[in-house]
Amino acid sequence: MKAVILSGGFGTRLRPLTINTPKSMVPVLNIPFLEHVINHLKTHGVSEFSLAVSYLAQPIKNYFGDGSRFGISLTYTVEDSPMGTAGAVKNAGNSLNKRILVLNGDIFTDLDITDMIAAHKKNKAKATIALTPVEDPTSYGLVLTDNNLRVLRFLEKPNPDEITTNMINAGTYILEPEVMALVPPQTNYSFERELFPLLLKNGEPVYAYPSSSYWMDIGKPENYFQLHYDLLNGKSNQFRYNNGKRIVAGKRCNIHPTAKITGQVIIGNNCMIGEGARINGPSVIGTDCHISTDAVIDDSIIWASVYVEPQARIKHSIIADNCHIGSASNVEESVLGDKAIVTYGRNVKAGSLVSPGTIVY
Ligand code: GDD
Ligand code: MG
């Protein structure tokens, strides 16, 4: 079955990280998020993919190409401006004469796709929607079912007084071609707000596939952090931290013997960790980073080519590509867009969102 992955949103809630980097390319454990999604689907035998891209499409195309490097076949459909979730899939035209698998491109999950397909067939469903439990459904799509898991109601972004279940749309669908035929061509159209409610109104057999498998939407910085914590702590079966080994460092790293690395830490290729530097996990350091003498990195995610000068301190922060953190500066609970510069001795105060290229004096 072909998978269509929705990768064209603006990633608004992950700004400033997503101003120059599409949400799909945001690194997770030093590889683009979407690569994890593709790897998971490959384990369920999916080999044919279409990416519905729009905003910042080029970096995605440059990295994934025709998919051959990843052992898959990959095509792209590009929307000039986003056409909505269902509009984007409709736009992926050629896939619409067969059953398709549709995925939100910002979800990390261990969902058993093989079993979901079996359930879809058994139920003779026109559409099957994977469900996952969450604590607060207000930022998701609420899905109500009967005892046989037939969907009764789909309510996108419910108000607190409308919440009667903790099961939400997990962003993976199996759809029959007749369903996609209902989507008007070349129109902005949403699965969540338009197509699913329409199918239910028409009495079509729409089924739910609830799952307690690991699941995380990386749409917000807290969730992006949480995904790293969870992966480093073995909550997903897609990643095992190096069997109790103290650190996991990439190739050609130069780690000074006096550097102190504690907790779960992943270090990319070509990194330099200087004398007396401290890295406390859970933390991830991207490729080509330079962490200078006596710098401290605590509970943070550092992307590639970041230069941290001596005695700088970074705590619970996300630092995007090519940032420069000046000596004796202090960055706490903040998110720095790419190429941001923090000058000598400055304090980036907690809660800051620093735009790409900004110089913090
Ligand atoms: N190509 C394309 N075009 N992709 C789009 C468009 C579009 O117009 N709009 C959104 N996307 C992509 C986003 O990039 C993302 O991968 C996915 O579709 C979902 O969009 P989000 O903007 O992240 O939606 P959400 O997180 O608020 O809600 C959705 O996901 C929840 C689960 O995380 C909904 O599907 C909810 O019902 C669901 O519970
Ligand atoms: Mg999302």
In DSSP terms, 128 is beta-bridged to 174, 207
Quote the number of domains for the chain. Answer: 2
* Same domain for 251 and 224: no
Annotated catalytic residue: which of 122, 124, 126, 157?
157
CB of 172 closer than 8 Å to CB of 104:
yes
Q: For residue 261, what are its two tokens? A: 């690395």
Range of the domain at 301: 247-360
Say if 238 falls within a structural domain: no
**18 within ligand 1 shell (Cβ under 6 A):** no
Residue 82 alpha carbon, nearest atom of ligand 1: 8
- Which of 172, 199, 232 is the endpoint of a domain? 232
Structure tokens at 70: 């990843």
Q: Indicate the residue among 205, 232, 259 that finishes a domain.
A: 232
218 near 224, Cβ under 8 Å? yes
Q: Is 197 in the pocket of ligand 1 (CB under 6 A)?
A: no
Ligand 2 centre and the CA of 105: distance in Å?
Answer: 8
On whether both 8 and 135 belong to a single domain, the answer is yes
Residue 240 in any domain: the answer is no
CATH number at residue 110: 3.90.550.10
pLDDT in tens, the chain (361 residues): 999 999 988 889 999 999 999 999 999 999 999 999 999 999 999 999 999 998 898 999 999 999 999 999 999 999 988 899 999 999 877 556 899 999 999 999 999 999 999 999 999 999 999 999 999 999 999 999 999 999 999 999 999 999 999 999 999 999 999 999 999 988 999 999 999 999 999 999 999 999 999 999 998 999 999 999 999 988 999 988 876 566 688 899 999 999 999 999 999 999 999 999 999 989 999 999 999 999 999 999 999 999 999 999 999 999 999 999 999 999 999 999 999 999 999 999 999 999 999 999 9
| Closest ligand 1 atom to 219 CA | 23
Domain-embedded: residue 8: yes
Counting atoms of ligand 1 from 1, which one is nearest the CA of 23? 14
> Does ligand 1 come within 6 angstroms of the Cβ of 84?
yes
Same-domain pairing of 203 and 311? no
Q: Is position 157 annotated as part of the catalytic site? A: yes
224 belongs to a structural domain: yes
CATH number at residue 274: 2.160.10.10
In the reported structure, the alpha carbon of residue 13 is separated from the centroid of ligand 2 by a whole-number distance in angstroms of 9
**Is residue 128 assigned to a domain?**
yes
Same domain assignment for residues 89 and 187: yes
In angstroms, rounded to a whole number, what is the distance separating the alpha carbons of residues 167 and 177?
26
Tell me the DSSP string of 137-178: GGGSEEEEE-TT-BEEEEEES--GGG---SEEEEEEEEE-HH
One-letter identity of residue 295: A
Which ligand has the shortest distance to the CA of 156? Answer: 1
Residue 285 CA to residue 232 CA, distance in Å, equals 13
Nearest to 11 by CA among 133, 74, 79, 104: 104
Is position 242 within any domain?
A: no
Identify the residue whose C-alpha is closest to ligand 1 atom 19: 104
Half-sphere exposure of 276 (CA within 13 A, CB side): 8
Cα angle at 55 between 54 and 60, to 5 degrees? 80
Q: Tell me the C-alpha distance between 297 and 312, whole Å.
A: 8
